[in-house]
Chains A and B, each alone.
Chain A
Amino acid sequence: MDGERLFFCCDICLREFRQLVARIKSETGWDRIDSVQVAGDRRGRTCLATRAGTRYECAFAFNAEGSLREYSSRGGSERPDP
């Protein structure tokens, strides 16, 4: 996924996606992400991210400006060392 060209419908979507990727990286300690699968709707979404066979899941929601207002790790196979 990192390095891929992605299509976004508007600048808010782009902003949201960037924040999500940054947050997943900081939560997992990953330097890059291989894939993300997002489900749900604007009320709240879940994301499954993978990196070299490792899975990480989170739930999140944004406000109207596209800032992350809710985020919770749902575990997955790896958590960063405390």
Chain B
Amino acid sequence: MTKCPACLTAFPKGDWAALAQHLAERAQRSDAVHVRWLNQNISRKRIPLDDLESRIHQFFDLGARPLSAWIRSRFISKFYGEPPHPFPAALQHPSRATLLGYVFEHQHFLRQWVRSCAYIMARTDQAEVARYELDNLNTEFGGFGTPTPSHYELLLQMGESLGVSRAQILNTPPLASTAAAIQEWNRIATEEHWVEAVAGMHSLELIANRNLVDEGASISYFDPRILNGTEVNAPAKAFLREGYEADAGHSDEALALVDRFAVELDRVEEVQATFLRSADLFDDYLIARLERAAQFES
């Protein structure tokens, strides 16, 4: 089936005309999510319906590429084009405020991460996928004891090192954009097919995938030189280094699973739409980190 990248409503497979009509009709009614998708991906101006259909078809066309290559190039143009997304731009040489914005919003993201991965484990019939999620959960959330804590624990330690208590971090509710994104990610993990959830969640780990620079990204997630200098403190380096080292592997491995199972299960178009939806949510969520950071700017 084809799915709407703004609301994940399903249409018959390859029925780009139906999708174009749906998008045009929602945009006509001024629905913000559909208008945004069309503005950012197809056209800022109203265009004739048959034009819209062919441009949407083109947008989703994989050509000779595997699905993962399409996902990577869409991700790069969304987050690492010219100019790049403002959060990685701020993270190149992060201020205390930027790192705290990261901490306060990301602890909520990671709690949802656990739920999403657990739903995938529960819903997949593929042992390989379950093992992948288990490994990911251990790195991100479980940890391996004091010498190698989880990414979640490293995040909290970074926050504490910047002068806020663990209790304050954990007791602060998420900003509206974070909460809305989390709610939708939870819905995707529980209601859409598990292979779509794998693509939707783990494609987001591309944000810290350092190989993207070789594939055309304008910048990396942060300037890797900050891991050596004295610009950020040791707990911040530990947190950033962990993502730097783990996320390339995490996203590459997940996308290899997506390539295989999306084709086997005949769900390529669904995966494309769910990935796009999740990337839009992630965009909003990264902005929420900056919005939180602004609260710590003196």
Contacts and interface: CB of A to CB of B under 8 A. Distances in A.
B177 A10 contact: no
A11 B30 contact: yes
Nearest to A44: B86
Contacts, number: 43
Nearest to B84: A43
Interface size bracket, A side: 10 to 19
Contact of B176 (A8, A43, A44, A65): A65
Interface string A1-41: 00000001111100000000000000000000000000000
Contacts of A8: 30
B32 A69 contact: no
Nearest to B176: A65
Majority DSSP secondary structure for residues of B touching A: helix
A64 B184 CA distance: 14
Interface stretch (B58-66, B137-145, B285-293): B285-293
Nearest to B181: A64
Interface in A18-77: 42-44, 61, 63-65, 69-70
Contacts of B283: 64
A65 B291 CA distance: 12
B55 interface: no
B283 to A, nearest CB: 8
SS class of chain A's interface: helix, strand, loop or mixed?
loop
Interface in B165-213: 175-177, 180
A43 B86 contact: yes
Interface string B278-298: 000001100110110010000
Contacts of B288: 63-64
Interface of A: 8-12, 42-44, 61, 63-65, 69-70
Interface of B: 27, 30-32, 35-36, 39-40, 83, 85-86, 175-177, 180, 283-284, 287-288, 290-291, 294
